[in-house]
Amino acid sequence: MKLLLPEGAAPSSDPIAEILKNTKTIAVVGLSSNAMRPSHGVAEYLQAAGYRIVPVNPNETNVLGEKSYPRLEDVPLKID
Hey, where are the domains in the chain? 15-73
What CATH fold (topology level) applies to the domain 15-73? Answer: Rossmann fold (3.40.50)
The pLDDT, as a whole number, for residue 13 is 65
Model confidence at 69: pLDDT above 80: yes
Predicted TM-score of the model (pTM): 0.77
User: Alpha-carbon distance 25 to 12, whole Å?
Assistant: 22
| 4-8, 41-45, 64-68, range with the lowest pLDDT | 4-8
pLDDT classification of 74: cutoffs 50, 70, 90: very high
The whole-number pLDDT of residue 9 equals 64
pLDDT band at 19 (very low <50, low <70, confident <90, very high): confident
- From 53, 58, 61, select the one nearest 30 (Cα to Cα): 58
